[in-house]
A and B are shown apart, each in its own frame.
Chain A
Amino acid sequence: MAALATAFLALVVLAAVAAPVVSPHPPTRQQIARRLTPPAWMPGGSPEHLLGADQLGRDIASRILFGARISLTVAALAVGIAAATGVSLGVVAGYYGAWADRVLTRLADIQLAFPLTLLVITLIAILGPGLVNVVAALGLGGWAAYFRMTRAQVLMVREMEYVMAARCLGVPDARIAWRHVLPNAISPLIVLASFSVAQVIILESALSFLGLGVQPPTPTWGGMLADSRDYLAIAWWLAASPGLALTLTVLAINLVGDWLRDRLDPRLVL
Chain B
Amino acid sequence: MLAYLGRRAADALLAVLGVSTIAFLAIRLSGDPVALLITEYATPEDVERVRRALGLDLPLWQQYLRFLADALRGNFGESLRFLKPAAPLVYGALPATVLLAAAALVVALLVGLPLGVLAGARRGSLADGAAVAVATLGQSIPYFWLGILLIMVFAVHLRWLPAFGSETLRHLVLPALTLAATPMARIARIVRSGIVEVLTHDYVRTARAKGLRHARVLIHHALPNVAIPVVTILALDFGTLLGGAVVTETIFAWPGVGRLVVQAIQSRDYPVVQAVVFYLAMAFVGINLLMDLIYARLDPRIRYQ
Residues of A with Cβ closer than 8 Å to B?
A: 106, 109-111, 113-118, 121-122, 124-126, 128, 198, 202, 205-206, 209-212, 222, 225-226, 228-229, 232-233, 236, 239, 243, 246-247, 250-251, 254-255, 258, 269
The answer to whether B148 touches A126, judged by C-beta atoms less than 8 angstroms apart, is no
A-B contact count (CB 8 A): 131
Instruction: Report the minimum CB–CB distance from B138 to chain A (whole Å).
Output: 10
Contact with A along B130-157 (1 / 0, CB 8 A): 0000001101111111001101100010
Contacts of A109 in B (CB 8 A): 11, 15
Contact with A along B160-186 (1 / 0, CB 8 A): 000000000000000000000000000
Q: A115-B238, A206-B142, A206-B143 are in contact. List 17 more A-B contacts (CB 8 A).
A: A109-B11, A110-B18, A115-B280, A117-B240, A117-B246, A121-B262, A122-B26, A125-B265, A206-B243, A209-B250, A210-B247, A228-B148, A229-B148, A232-B148, A233-B156, A255-B136, A258-B136
The answer to whether A247 touches B142, judged by C-beta atoms less than 8 angstroms apart, is yes
* B-side interface residues, number (CB < 8 Å): 51
Q: Is the CB of B277 closer than 8 A to any CB of chain A? A: yes
- Give the segment of B83-91, B106-114, B281-289 that binds chain A: B281-289
Contacts of B288 in A (CB 8 A): 113
15 A-B contact pairs sorted by A residue (CB < 8 Å) = A106-B14, A113-B284, A117-B246, A118-B280, A118-B281, A121-B261, A125-B273, A206-B243, A225-B148, A226-B144, A239-B148, A246-B145, A247-B140, A251-B141, A254-B136
What separation, in Å, do the CA atoms of A206 and B258 have in the docked complex? 13
Contacts of A228 in B (CB 8 A): 148
Q: Is the CB of B96 closer than 8 A to any CB of chain A? A: no
What separation, in Å, do the CA atoms of A76 and B1 have in the docked complex? 44
Q: Is the CB of B33 closer than 8 A to any CB of chain A? A: no
**If the complex has contacts A126-B25, A210-B250, A225-B144, are A118 and B30 also in contact, measured as CB distance less than 8 A?**
no
What separation, in Å, do the CA atoms of A251 and B181 have in the docked complex? 14
Contacts of A232 in B (CB 8 A): 148, 151-152, 156
Instruction: Report the minimum CB–CB distance from B59 to chain A (whole Å).
Output: 21
The answer to whether A121 touches B246, judged by C-beta atoms less than 8 angstroms apart, is yes
The answer to whether B156 touches A124, judged by C-beta atoms less than 8 angstroms apart, is no
Instruction: Report the minimum CB–CB distance from A194 to chain B (whole Å).
Output: 13
The answer to whether A126 touches B145, judged by C-beta atoms less than 8 angstroms apart, is no
What separation, in Å, do the CA atoms of A255 and B190 have in the docked complex? 16
Partner among A115, A247, A269 whose Cβ is within 8 Å of the Cβ of B145: A247
Instruction: Report the minimum CB–CB distance from B292 to chain A (whole Å).
Output: 12
Q: Chain B residue with minimal CB distance to A125?
A: B265
Contacts of B281 in A (CB 8 A): 113-114, 118
Contacts of A226 in B (CB 8 A): 144
Which has the most chain B C-beta neighbours within 10 Å: A106, A115, A236?
Answer: A115
What separation, in Å, do the CA atoms of A30 and B95 have in the docked complex? 43
Q: Chain B residue with minimal CB distance to A228?
A: B148
Instruction: Report the minimum CB–CB distance from A34 to chain B (whole Å).
Output: 23
Instruction: Report the minimum CB–CB distance from A102 to chain B (whole Å).
Output: 13
Q: Is the CB of B56 closer than 8 A to any CB of chain A? A: no
Partner among B15, B156, B242 whose Cβ is within 8 Å of the Cβ of A113: B15
The 10 closest A-B pairs by CB, nearest first: A117-B243, A115-B239, A243-B145, A113-B15, A251-B140, A250-B140, A126-B26, A110-B18, A125-B265, A110-B15
Which has the most chain B C-beta neighbours within 10 Å: A111, A121, A246, A250?
Answer: A121
Q: Chain B residue with minimal CB distance to A106?
A: B14
What separation, in Å, do the CA atoms of A251 and B145 have in the docked complex? 14
Instruction: Report the minimum CB–CB distance from B94 to chain A (whole Å).
Output: 15
The answer to whether B243 touches A115, judged by C-beta atoms less than 8 angstroms apart, is yes
Q: Chain A residue with minimal CB distance to B141?
A: A247
Contact with A along B268-300 (1 / 0, CB 8 A): 001001000100110011001000000000000
Q: Is the CB of B200 closer than 8 A to any CB of chain A? A: no
What separation, in Å, do the CA atoms of A80 and B136 have in the docked complex? 25
What separation, in Å, do the CA atoms of A239 and B141 have in the docked complex? 13
Q: Is the CB of B251 closer than 8 A to any CB of chain A? A: yes
What separation, in Å, do the CA atoms of A186 and B193 have in the docked complex? 24
What separation, in Å, do the CA atoms of A250 and B246 have in the docked complex? 20
Contacts of A209 in B (CB 8 A): 144, 247, 250
What separation, in Å, do the CA atoms of A106 and B14 have in the docked complex? 9
Partner among A128, A205, A225 whose Cβ is within 8 Å of the Cβ of B30: A128
Contacts of A114 in B (CB 8 A): 15, 18-19, 239, 281, 284
Contact with A along B229-256 (1 / 0, CB 8 A): 1000000001110111011001100000
What separation, in Å, do the CA atoms of A117 and B136 have in the docked complex? 21
Contacts of A126 in B (CB 8 A): 22, 25-26, 29-30
Instruction: Report the minimum CB–CB distance from A188 to chain B (whole Å).
Output: 17
